[in-house]
Amino acid sequence: MSGNGKVKPLEGIRVLGVENQVAGPYCTMMLAAQGAEVIKIEAPGRGDSAREMGPIIKNDKGDKFSGYFLRFNRNKKGITLDINSDKGKEIFKELVKKSDVVVENFRPGFMDKNGIGYKVLKEINPRLIYAAISGFGQMEGYEGPYQKRTAFDMVVQAMGGLMHNVGEADGPPNWLGIALGDLYSGVMAAYGILLAIITREKTGEGQFIDSSMYDNIISLNERALTVYSLTGKVIGRGQESLVYPIGPFKVKDGYIAMIIPIESIWARLCETIGRPELANDERFNSGPKRAQNKDQLQPILDEWLKDKTKKEAEELLLAGRVPVGIVQDAKDIFECPHANARKMFPEIEQPPIGKVKVVDLPLKMSGVEKVQAGPAPLLGQHTDEVLTNVLNLSSDEIAKLREEKVI
């Protein structure tokens, strides 16, 4: 507990991250942001493949660091350990004995084949919570024909239907532009871990958590899937049939976005654009009717918007109590006074490149101590510290492990 009486929710929880790329690292970064001690385990010499990916940032001396890796690995300790070697497995198991959580996002079966899967580790530590993130899931009783497939975010966005929903009616499916399958799978794994920690307080036992990227994307596509379940209709790209106006609208210097989900807001929009009679027009007096008659309604909206800037249109619509926002790019967001008031871009000191601003995790809580955003670890930066403090290995033992290329 800090001097102000507030606690870090996960202080005292030790997490081993046997992780790569995005989903696993994002999960453990969320846990680290609430006070957990996260020990990221990487292969000696090469580390997480995310370290190779851009943008690669250089300092004045030419030292490099991956901005991609930085996005998902802040506030962690980093060690190198060859978990494919017998000695590396032995050390890993010793770490498991003194840890609460293991997070991994390798292909299903990799950890089992290596002799360090959940069934082995729970015998070593019955209180262990083991979270596995994979493309298509792996828990016994839920095996499907795709279980062994390799998956990346693009793949599950396609298969889960999100890409089908995005784009113009006569155009191809589109990726959402963010690694939603990875990020959300990390969030769901973190959610599962928190539930498992609460359950462990009641039962004294850990458990296995299975976070499937495909399942997670399907759950996010619930609107289209529910519409199909209830009506037999497949929602098409650019063919909204239930709500209008919805989406981006062009103005003089860019785009704004608005949605009119209910009739009271539709009436306010009509008043704002100087066409109050449209509120009760038989063609437009419900969301489905407006969607059906979009070709008649959109020119009216376009005519009102065409000579207005983003800011002007936003101010007029907000004054009329119509939900609206400017379509912003990264520069706009970094300069946004509200995002900055919410402290979304903390500055950290990241070796070796120096001071950088990062995107913080968004959750705010009144009764906990805020964990300040910190740097991502250099490859193997904390190996000696962890092996000394957690496993009580001597400097000579650590030197021997390094000589044998176990660390």
Contact 238, 295 (CB under 8 A): no
Q: How far is residue 3's CA from residue 62's CA, in Å, rounded to a whole number?
A: 41
Contact 368, 9 (CB under 8 A): yes
Q: Which of these, 122, 144, 123, lies nearest to 196 by C-alpha position?
A: 122
Catalytic residue (choose from 48, 153, 182, 210): 182
What's the number of CA atoms in the CB half-sphere (13 Å) around residue 332? 9
Rounded to the nearest 10°, the torsion over CA 98, 189, 133, 160 is: 180
- How many CB atoms lie under 10 A from the CB of residue 57? 16
Q: Which of these, 35, 37, 36, 41, lies nearest to 17 by C-alpha position?
A: 41
Length of the chain: 407
Q: Which of these, 353, 25, 58, lies nearest to 189 by C-alpha position?
A: 25
Q: 281 an active-site residue?
A: no
Active site residues: 182
